[in-house]
Amino acid sequence: MKKPGLSKARPVFRLWLILFLACGLAAMADDRPVRYDLKVELIPETATLQGKETIVWTNRTADYIPDIQFHLYWNAFKNERSTLAQEASREKIISRYRAKKDEWGWIKLVSLSTDSGLDLMPAATFISPDEPHNPDDQTVLRVELPEPLAPGQSITLNLEFQAKVPGSGLRTGHYRDGFFIAQWFPKPGVYEEGRGWNCHEYHLNSEFYADFADYRVEITVPERMVVGASGEEVARRDDPASGKTTYTYVQQNIHDFAWTASPRFVKLERWFRGEEEVTPEEYRQMAELLGLSPQELKLPDVKMILLIEKQHQNQAERHFRALRAALKYYGLWYGPYPYRTITMVDPPYRTGSGGMEYPTLFTAGTSVLLEKDVLSPEQVIIHEFGHGYWYGLVANNEFEEAWLDEGINTYSTGRVSEVAYGPGRLPFRFSGLPLSWLIKFPAVYDWQLGRVVSATVAELDPIVTASWKFFNSMSYSLNVYYRAATCLHTLERLLGEQTWARVMRTYHMRYRFRHPKTEDFIRVVNEVSGQDLTWFFKEFFFNANNFDYAIGSVETRLKPEKYQGVFDSLPTGQASSPPAGVQEKTARKKEKIYETVITLRRLGPARPGPGYGLKLRVDFEDGSSEWREWDGQDRWVRFYFEKPARVKTAVLDPEAIWLVDSNFSNNSYSSQGPGARLLTATVKLVWFLQHLLLTFSGLL
Amino acid sequence: MSLQTYLNPGLNRTITRFRLSVYIWLILLVLALLALAPINSLLRNSLGHFYLPDKPVMPFELNLAEVFLANQEILSPYVGFLLTLMLLTGLIFTFLSAGLFGRMLSPDPVVTLREFLSDGARHFWKFFLSLLVFLPFLAVLLILFRLLTAPLNLWSSRAVTEWPVIISANLRMLVLILLWTAFKLFLDLTRIIMISESKKVIPAYVSALRFLKRHFFRFWGLYLLLGLAVIIISAFWFFIMRLIPSGAGPGVLAFIFLGQIYIIFRVLARQVFIGVEYAYYLRQKGE
């Protein structure tokens, strides 16, 4: 719908926006070390790829570089001896990957030469750069260059490769004639000046890291296949003789390229129109929050492409609605989406490729049986699109600091879901049928659930840990996703909405198309907030410290009307002064006074930093309230109150600032307790146990 | 012969022996409270004075989850305790089953706790042995299950959409339930024969097999019809229970009342099954 007053200005804004984005992208072009030109043919019958690749790699550092290291990710699926397979076999209960017979995948370099024809294959060796070394792993290939590459010098490499698409593996795979192709081509790692190649083996609990590049990719598939890919489709060539079609995709300034092909896709397109999706009032409010002008926040138009399986086609509009919300809020809060297209894929059935992100393309995943108030597939759509921002644009090293995309994006996903949808019910299923059809599960916000589950790993590993060094997959997942997000929610509440919004926008816009580290994020937080929050990151990101404050005890007693003992003078409030050394009765008071002692305790090692603390609010039966503050440094503190009423409730951190507190249940006191709710929970448990025992007895 | 021929005697037998369901319900309640005791203690200590405002920071269910997660170290011993209790319950319910069958099949409709317990004691050993002898039949059940569901597994493994997987998973569940009902019927019949004809375990199994050879499908059909009735009533019950608001005082009372009525209903249903099976056996045996 057209908004009044904007129709004349719209073309000008659009032109300005396009110019801005084009200039931005173009300005980045000279900084990019890599260009890819790929041609690949998919042979569905054998599930193989035949590929040709031309890489132009430029040394943008001051170092002389003697070699190039490549990722050959699919060799992680080659056998049981790869690093990934070995790590997976050590996961006892749940593993995101299990090596299966007949589903192996691999990638093999057939030839590698320079533009001048020099054969580099003899100089190529597999290496294992991570500890512990695994000589059987073949996911990192080192190629010694004939001469070290000087600063500013480029080299053009021509590669031919063959690859076998793994079965339903990890993030990539095929099932029958549905294919999802990711991490499929030889890709150089990232060279870091003064430090060398950052090119890790493919680990179970890690994702990816690469340089921004321009891509031009030709994909040849049987004509019956519907194809989706990163970037924009610029050409299509049909060859009736061979029954094949070649699609050409191009995209500047991305650091990965994925694609998919299946005959069962339905391809749908919609447009996200910035001026229709966001009202002037929303622009104005956001501008005020961020301290920017509304014009700076204008969102561009984006073509939304959806490849959805026919069995899920009736859910297409649910998919688009979620993507619109994501484009809108990520754009308003962090910065406009800089590409012209976004491709959303309902992954081919049983390819193991759902819920994953690639620049300008992501996979979601849904089910034929949906529930109305369960935010699935919405949350996964928002989350995976969001990775286009956190990882796609702000391209942290996912191997070494996964929280910078997963944690920040989990936080962002929760915020978008909250604003666009409200709380969602938990998605439990049994035998493929939604249990919510029978049982009314509670509706929760992402951050509520996240803080509860992440408390279980508070003392296991620091959030900032290299992905493959976490204790296990659960520690990795809960730490980098949920605990990191919980910490960010806490930081938001400590700093306030406005400061936090500015922190996040500054961080995103400053580090777009760059590779930031945790220290960069901390620097931005300190700079924008004007405070030193380094202690926060030290406490919660670099250490595994549990933050748990509690109300230890609440004691109330009637203040005695008289005190026994020998007094030099009467206690305060006495009516008359007796002679010294004589026991005296006090005058009977008309009003009862209650003495209340509240003890607060610090149960974990984590503490607030300088200038921060916790608040205590105490409500009394006469309707009055008192507040106290505690810096939380000692192990305990006591507060004393004298009031003509008993204490009714006491709440530590009543504003719920410290979401990182691992146990909210000990943060409050009520003279009456939760009453009916606890009784209901107990009654339901009894009832459930009766049924369990009765069912068991029925077997006898 | 109509359904009424077996249903009426079965229902009458159940109604006249209604007290049995009350005894069993009470024992179940005690066992459940015993099973809950450690958890209840944990909940009371953790949440007994918890303040729940009108707009809490998070749903109360998450507070419960938080308590459990914060006290994970007790969950492992608790599971051990629960498993031990289940084993003990197994023995108790074998005893109660013996008492239930004993009183249901007794010509004397008067039921007292003393007679119920002495029937349990009298037939306990036979019931325990009948369970042990039943184990090989369970192995047969599993083999039959795998044979019958093999086509479903094949269909599911070749699926290119979700529907075959969902349908076959639920059909497998149905096959398992149907097979189980057939084998349970066999076990029930054996016990009926053991008590009504004072036979030992193996001869009772043989008699039961002979009977089922002639009457299996009709008998099983009757059993399934009763089961369907129980499911329909249960579905209706669950629908009513979902309407009860949580947290409010009257809501808790309604939940307790209706919830316990449903438990008694399940025990009564068991009695009806035994009564109808016995009526059918007597009638068909006589022919």
Judging by beta carbons within 10 Å of its beta carbon (0-12, 13-18, 19+), is residue A474 exposed, middle or buried?
middle
How many CB pairs below 8 Å do chains A and B form together?
177
Strand bridging mode A106-114 / A154-164: antiparallel
Is residue B97 less than 8 Å (CB to CB) from chain A? yes
Is residue B169 less than 8 Å (CB to CB) from chain A? yes
Write out residues 192-221 of B within 8 Å (CB-CB) of A. Answer: none
**CB nearest to B162's CB, from A368, A671, A683:** A368
A563 or A642, higher pLDDT: A642
Separation CA B183–CA A126 (nearest Å): 60
Q: Please say whether the beta carbons of A504 and A485 come within 8 A.
A: no
pLDDT in the model for residue B205:
97
Provide the shortest C-alpha distance from residue B224 to chain A (in Å): 15
Provide the shortest C-alpha distance from residue A246 to chain B (in Å): 25
Q: How big is chain A, counted in residues?
A: 700
Provide the shortest C-alpha distance from residue A349 to chain B (in Å): 6
Provide the shortest C-alpha distance from residue A411 to chain B (in Å): 17
Provide the shortest C-alpha distance from residue A689 to chain B (in Å): 5
Separation CA B195–CA B102 (nearest Å): 7
Residues of B in contact with A547 (CB under 8 A): none
> What DSSP element (H or E) covers A220?
strand A213-222
- Tens of pLDDT along B86-117? 888 889 999 999 999 999 999 988 899 999 99
Residue range A552-558: mean pLDDT, rounded: 93
Angle between helices A316-334 and A403-420 (to 10 degrees): 110
Write out residues 554-583 of A within 8 Å (CB-CB) of B. Answer: 554
- Tens of pLDDT along A179-226? 999 999 999 999 999 999 999 999 998 899 999 999 999 999 999 999
Write out residues 657-686 of A within 8 Å (CB-CB) of B. Answer: 662-666, 668-671, 673-674, 676-686
Best CA proximity match to A508, nearest among A330, A253, A357? A330
**CB nearest to B94's CB, from A432, A674, A700:** A700
CA of A456: which chain B residue's CA is closest? B69
Sheet holding A178-181, edge to edge: A173-175, A178-181, A259-262, A226-229
Separation CA A244–CA A49 (nearest Å): 14
Best CA proximity match to A551, nearest among A601, A591, A506? A601
Separation CA A438–CA A426 (nearest Å): 13
Residue range B73-90: mean pLDDT, rounded: 86
Phi then psi dihedrals of residue A164, to 5 deg: -110, 125
Best CA proximity match to A667, nearest among A614, A609, A627? A614
Q: Within 13 A of A684's CA, how many CA atoms are on the CB side?
A: 16
Residue range A140-158: mean pLDDT, rounded: 96
Contact A690 B267 (CB under 8 A): no
According to DSSP, residue B276 is labeled H
Residue ranges of alpha helices (H) inside A564-675 are none
pLDDT in the model for residue A503:
98
Residue ranges of alpha helices (H) inside A291-375 are 316-334
Q: Please say whether the beta carbons of A676 and B247 come within 8 A.
A: yes
Residues of A in contact with B62 (CB under 8 A): 442, 444, 448-449, 452
Tokens matching residue A514: 């760059």
- Tens of pLDDT along A109-121? 999 999 999 999 9
Average pLDDT for chain A? 90
Angle between helices B113-157 and B162-196 (to 10 degrees): 150
**CB nearest to B51's CB, from A369, A449, A669:** A669
Write out residues 292-321 of A within 8 Å (CB-CB) of B. Answer: 309-311
Separation CA A519–CA A396 (nearest Å): 12
Categorize the per-residue pLDDT at A3 as very low, low, confident or very high, splitting at 50, 70 and 90.
very low
Provide the shortest C-alpha distance from residue B282 to chain A (in Å): 23
The rounded radius of gyration (Å) of the Cα atoms in chain B is 23
Contact B160 A431 (CB under 8 A): no
Contact A311 B162 (CB under 8 A): yes
Strand, coil or helix: A304 = strand
Q: How big is chain B, counted in residues?
A: 287
Measured in whole angstroms, how far is the alpha carbon of residue A132 from the centre of its chain?
28
Assess whether pLDDT exceeds 90 at residue B83. no
Strand partners, A108: A162
pLDDT in the model for residue A2:
31
- Tens of pLDDT along A660-671? 999 999 999 998
